[in-house]
Structure 1
Amino acid sequence: MTLPTTMRFVDLPSFGAPDVMTFATGPVPSPKAGEILVKVQAAGINRPDVAQRQGTYPAPKDASPVLGLEIAGEVVAVGEGVNEFKLGDPVCALANGGGYAEYCVVPAGQALPFPKGYDAVKAAALPETFFTVWANLFQMAGLTEGESVLIHGGSSGIGTTAIQLAKAFGAEVYVTAGSKDKCDACETLGAKRAINYREDDFATVIKAETGGKGVDVILDMIGASYFEKNIASLAKDGCLSIIAFLGGAVAEKVNLGPIMVKRLTITGSTMRPRTADEKRAIRDELVAEVWPLLEAGEIAPVIHDVIDFDKVADGHRLMETSGHIGKIVMRVS
């Protein structure tokens, strides 16, 4: 296969609003040992992309500075030592950067086959949210069958994924969302109760719904402004898993007593700094545990909108409004 030497990509000459993004031409990257080169057919737009564009989420030193953390497309080159993929394989992948481009290099251990019956757009909606939810909700927080979970931001890409996975693995699901339409969508996906945080206090509702017991796990992307209410909403031996700080990163004058009395665990992580081996371990569990559910149609990514590559700024504006339900995907080629 003869590859072009140059490609189009979304450039970020400065930080700022969506319009700072421009298109540029640069060299097609070459895969190193353990990597694959993917001709990108579709790419997801995610909040970390918005944060990187704004200058608050820098790329790791060894990663591409180009935006984009999840892609789907065709393998067009393989690096030394890669045996699990071959030329022509359709894959989706969690990228360390560089996804907003016509070609993207990713570690082979972060790539997954398309679920049977999936096209590139549908497959591109999987990696970022499924890696994040699986690692934080199941591996770290240990959610298991028969437990209860509260998922904040239930209508987001993370939220719609978490609802379906938690429900599929036998948990009772509660969520927060910001409108009736979003709450209805969450309940359709499997939430027992969706709480409109603009109208109701979620801690009060959780207390009533659980008979005062609280939930076993909370998946939180809000941070400081929800911290005390999250602690109040957890059952004994519960776990708070923090994955973002949309409501601030510094919680002041917090009463630590309930953490000790209820033997709570507080954990948190971001995906991007994890090692290649850590990400491969998540990938392997997803293929074994989750891909069969996708192929059986028991769960599926929720896609709000599909935009053209040239409309990337529109995708970022939509993300910033929080008016979407589910994922925003960009068709690249």
Structure 2
Amino acid sequence: MKAIQFSETGGPEVLEYVDLPDPTAGPGEVLVKAQAFGVGKPDVLLRSGVYKWMPPLPAVIGNEMTGHVVGVGAGVSHLALGQAVLVFGTGGGRHAEMNAVPADIATALPGGVDLDAAVCIPNYAIAWCLLKEACAGTNVTSVYVNGAAGGVGSAVIDLCRLEGIEVIAGASSDAKCAFASDIGATHTINYGSENVVERVLALTDDRGVDLVLDQLIGPDFTDNLQMLAPLGMILSFNALAGLPEKELFAEMRAHLGKSPAVRCFSWHSYDANPDARARVLGEVVDRFADGGLTPPIHATLPLADARKAHEMLDARDILGKVILKP
């Protein structure tokens, strides 16, 4: 089988299109023949060697794929040959034409679901958690999300559109803001040229938003507190721009009158809770099956062009999701 493997960490050039032996399904596993692969920021972190859950090298990269079950190991009863599935794992291993995976990370997909579009479900699962799970107790009627043109950001916008939540989308260029508006953002802010806090407050009549979804952090992270509504929450789900300059708790105390909350979120929160993981994925799969969600696809490339996909991610010129095909 063909796969994308890396033996050292670095830029896209470390990715190799290689031949590997076909795996077989062991006990508790299913063998999945790939239909599509999702490429995202975790793959860049894996490739760069900074992912918190790094596999030993050499390793096959990738966390997301869809396909059909072509082998069933002993002890697996809920998946059958021919079943369409999403495989959403962590720590790589997915970007190969054949995957032997634990059956509990293979999610059955209903008939009629587009398997290319379904490879975006992991982004939507994270977006669902940000909007519905990790902010439990916060009455979310308005959201600000940065990195809004990427895979998770665009999924947040799409879910907010479906749920009737006002979403202010932040992005780094006018083109990305236009894209965010086209897919359903209520308002957009170009944080390359505009003051985010001032714009959010102006758009919300100085109230602020109930939920700030921040995947950048960076030196000015604590400025988010200024545009938070009373009893609102900031959810950090990545740290692409580094850590804040100011002491977070001191800044929270400075905004005590709002009773602000700050939380970090990782999908790995569900590693030890497969039932909760399955429930979240089920919520998203149901909405895909209903046709209510429309993931934007930036590009579809052959698996052999994985380096090109990573170059796109590194250049930060993605509008939606990049998909690889076997």
Structure-2-length-normalised TM-score: 0.91
For 2:218, give the aligned amino acid.
Answer: A
Secondary structure in 1 aligned to 2:324? strand
Which of residues 141, 145, 152 is equivalent to 1:147? 141
Which of residues 46, 49, 55 is equivalent to 1:55? 49
* Alignment partners' CA distance in 2, 1:60 and 1:318: 22
Q: Is the 8 A contact 1:226 1:247 kept in 2?
A: no
Deviation at residue 63 of structure 1 after TM alignment:
11
Q: Is the 8 A contact 2:30 2:73 kept in 1?
A: yes
Cross-structure match for 1:233: 227
Matches within 5 A, 1:264-279: 264-272=260-268, 274-278=270-274
Deviation at residue 46 of structure 1 after TM alignment:
0.7
Please tell me the root mean square deviation across aligned C-alpha atoms, in Å.
2.3
Cross-structure match for 1:187: 181
* Alignment partners' CA distance in 2, 1:269 and 1:77: 34
Cross-structure match for 2:218: 224
Which of residues 250, 259, 262 is equivalent to 2:258? 262
* Alignment partners' CA distance in 2, 1:124 and 1:205: 34
Deviation at residue 164 of structure 1 after TM alignment:
1.0
Deviation at residue 71 of structure 1 after TM alignment:
0.2
Cross-structure match for 1:169: 163
* Alignment partners' CA distance in 2, 1:172 and 1:274: 28
CA deviation digits over 1:156-204, x for unaligned, max 9? 0001101111221221111101222211221222211011111211111
Secondary structure in 2 aligned to 1:73? strand
Cross-structure match for 1:3: none
Structure 2: segments with no counterpart, 5+ residues: none
Cross-structure match for 1:40: 34
* Alignment partners' CA distance in 1, 2:158 and 2:58: 32
What percentage of residue pairs aligned between the two structures are identical? 29
Which of residues 280, 290, 295 is equivalent to 1:296? 290
Which of residues 104, 107, 113 is equivalent to 1:112? 107
**Alignment CA distance shift 1:218-1:89 (3 Å):** same
Deviation at residue 124 of structure 1 after TM alignment:
1.6
Deviation at residue 111 of structure 1 after TM alignment:
2.6
Which one is further off, 86-95 or 51-60? 51-60
**Alignment CA distance shift 1:26-1:80 (3 Å):** same
**Alignment CA distance shift 1:79-1:277 (3 Å):** farther
Which one is further off, 302-311 or 244-253? 244-253
Deviation at residue 218 of structure 1 after TM alignment:
1.1
For 2:112, give the aligned amino acid.
Answer: G
Structure-1-length-normalised TM-score: 0.89
Deviation at residue 251 of structure 1 after TM alignment:
3.6
* Alignment partners' CA distance in 2, 1:64 and 1:213: 51
Structure 1: segments with no counterpart, 5+ residues: 1-6
Secondary structure in 2 aligned to 1:92? strand
* Alignment partners' CA distance in 1, 2:202 and 2:58: 48
Deviation at residue 276 of structure 1 after TM alignment:
5.0
Deviation at residue 62 of structure 1 after TM alignment:
9.2
Matches within 5 A, 1:9-88: 9-60=3-54, 65-88=59-82
Secondary structure in 2 aligned to 1:286? helix
Cross-structure match for 2:117: 122
Q: Is the 8 A contact 2:230 2:258 kept in 1?
A: yes
* Alignment partners' CA distance in 1, 2:58 and 2:215: 25
CA deviation digits over 1:71-90, x for unaligned, max 9? 01111122333222111111
Secondary structure in 1 aligned to 2:132? helix
Which one is further off, 7-16 or 239-248? 7-16
Deviation at residue 116 of structure 1 after TM alignment:
4.5
CA deviation digits over 1:216-245, x for unaligned, max 9? 111110013341221111111111111111
Which one is further off, 168-177 or 289-298? 289-298
* Alignment partners' CA distance in 1, 2:257 and 2:105: 40
Which one is further off, 23-32 or 298-307? 23-32
Deviation at residue 70 of structure 1 after TM alignment:
0.5
For 2:109, give the aligned amino acid.
Answer: F
* Alignment partners' CA distance in 2, 1:171 and 1:303: 23
* Alignment partners' CA distance in 2, 1:153 and 1:31: 38
Secondary structure in 2 aligned to 1:200? coil
Deviation at residue 145 of structure 1 after TM alignment:
7.3
Deviation at residue 263 of structure 1 after TM alignment:
1.3
Q: Is the 8 A contact 2:6 2:58 kept in 1?
A: no
For 1:110, give the aligned amino acid.
Answer: I
For 2:273, give the aligned amino acid.
Answer: D
For 2:124, give the aligned amino acid.
Answer: F
Deviation at residue 23 of structure 1 after TM alignment:
2.5
